[in-house]
Amino acid sequence: MRLAYLAAPDDAGFVPWAPYAAPCLLEYFLMPLVVVVLAVAVFAQGTSEFMVSGLLSQIADDLGVSLGAAGLLTSLFAAGMVVGAPTMAMAAGRVPVRYSATAFLGLFCVAHVIGATATGFASLLATRGVAAIADAGFLAVALAALPRLVGPAMIGRATAVVVSGVTVACIAGVPAGTVLGQLWDWRSAFWAVAVLSAVALVPVWVMLGRQVREGDVPSGPAPSMRREWSVLKQWPVRIAVSAAILVNAATFAAFTYLGTSTTAVAGNGWVPVVLALFGAGSFLGVTVTGRYSDRHQRRIVLVGTALLVGVWLVAAVAAHVLIGVVVMSVVAGAVAFGVGSTLIATIVRTATPAAPRIAGALATTALNIGAVFGPVAAGPVVDLTGHPATALWCSAACTVAAVGVVVLDRRRPATSRSSSGIADRPAARRGR
């Protein structure tokens, strides 16, 4: 109670003493509690997104389909996220945040209840599509609400807390879902996600109602799709979105083949350990960079992307021995997600003034386009070479392209970069 009182935002939506805080787990106590609740919901959604890969064999056997057909559950979810983010954000543009966020989370919960009771593959596949659209809509609305929840000076930290829900899903949620599937069946994992989503429903409804009041629904005519998406004509937004797509493509190209790379050098027994270490590194990366990204985002993005090229190259060389896979999974997770979460915050901050309703959708769409493009680009290379670790060379290539995008932004005159999202911001005031 004491921490909750001290961490409460002031009238302007800021936590005045937060700049003095230590990073890592303490960051959660320095955010309005509603941001942590959003992270819990994102944890449930992230668990659902990734756990299916560990349950495919059980699902295929139970529903009488091939393993390749069962893989459509993952592909459809990714496609639903890409389509759902912009469309659901625009559909919810005139709806108060508490209503839209609760509706998306409720739909996500119901989709998993129906999925857990599905008797045929077609019905399960349909629920995955609905869940993906609801997931994308919730994340887009949640990210777009952050400037009003914490103020513009703390968008980076708040984004890191929300995105950390995905990284914690990699550490705990996905392995837990796999264990549930092994102990009982794949349906128990779906029930667990449904219960966790249901638990978050009431706090999301109550706390968003308290935190977001004035300005929740803008007055005047509803913004048109064309006017909202014209924000992409702005150079700073293009730079941030392009860099985010490339960095996330690199990350998911590597992550997709991390399990098979581990199996190639150490067998199946090490796969859960390596995946958990990657998730732990990711959590560390988003937490630490989130602490500093509001004031040093240009440096984090520029130095981080350049460093990430080296990380992928070293990982590609080290992927043929177990110790190399173990160490680099932590390092790659930390750097990749640290830079990626900073770019997501950059998109939200840069796009919000001109397109407050779709700023979160832009960030979500960029993330998921990268998640789709990375594995698609790496697949043919892996097939050609016959070794899954070669996906890391594709990750390095995507990150080199991201460095080029960031450097292109840096080479512009300072006056034209003044509104750029990839720019360092002055330190927040420490007194009132």
Residues 231-277: tens digit of each pLDDT: 777 888 889 899 999 999 999 888 878 877 888 888 877 877 888 88
Cβ pair 249, 373 in contact under 8 A: yes
Structure tokens of 266? Answer: 């150490």
* Local confidence band at 93 (pLDDT 50, 70, 90 cut-offs): low
Stretch 74-78: mean pLDDT, rounded? 81
* pLDDT at 213 exceeding the cut of 70: no
List of domains in the chain: 1-213 (1.20.1250.20), 225-427 (1.20.1250.20)
* Local confidence band at 424 (pLDDT 50, 70, 90 cut-offs): low
Query: What is the structure's pLDDT at 27?
Result: 53
Query: What is the structure's pLDDT at 18?
Result: 35
* pLDDT at 22 exceeding the cut of 50: no
Cβ pair 334, 285 in contact under 8 A: yes
Burial group, residue 227, by CB count within 10 angstroms (0-12, 13-18, 19+): exposed
* pLDDT at 198 exceeding the cut of 90: yes
CA-to-CA separations, 231 to 89, 225, 238, in angstroms, rounded: 15, 11, 9
Provide the mean pLDDT of the chain: 79
Cβ pair 250, 367 in contact under 8 A: no
* pLDDT at 309 exceeding the cut of 60: yes
Query: What is the structure's pLDDT at 418?
Result: 44
Query: What is the structure's pLDDT at 210?
Result: 63
Question: What's the rounded Cα separation, in Å, for the pair 59 and 185?
Answer: 9
CA angle at 224 for the pair 223 and 229, rounded to the nearest 5°: 100
Least confident segment among 40-44, 191-195, 205-209: 205-209
pLDDT of 278-288, one tens digit each? Answer: 888 988 988 88
Question: What's the rounded Cα separation, in Å, for the pair 160 and 146?
Answer: 11
CA angle at 107 for the pair 106 and 112, rounded to the nearest 5°: 100
Stretch 204-226: mean pLDDT, rounded? 60
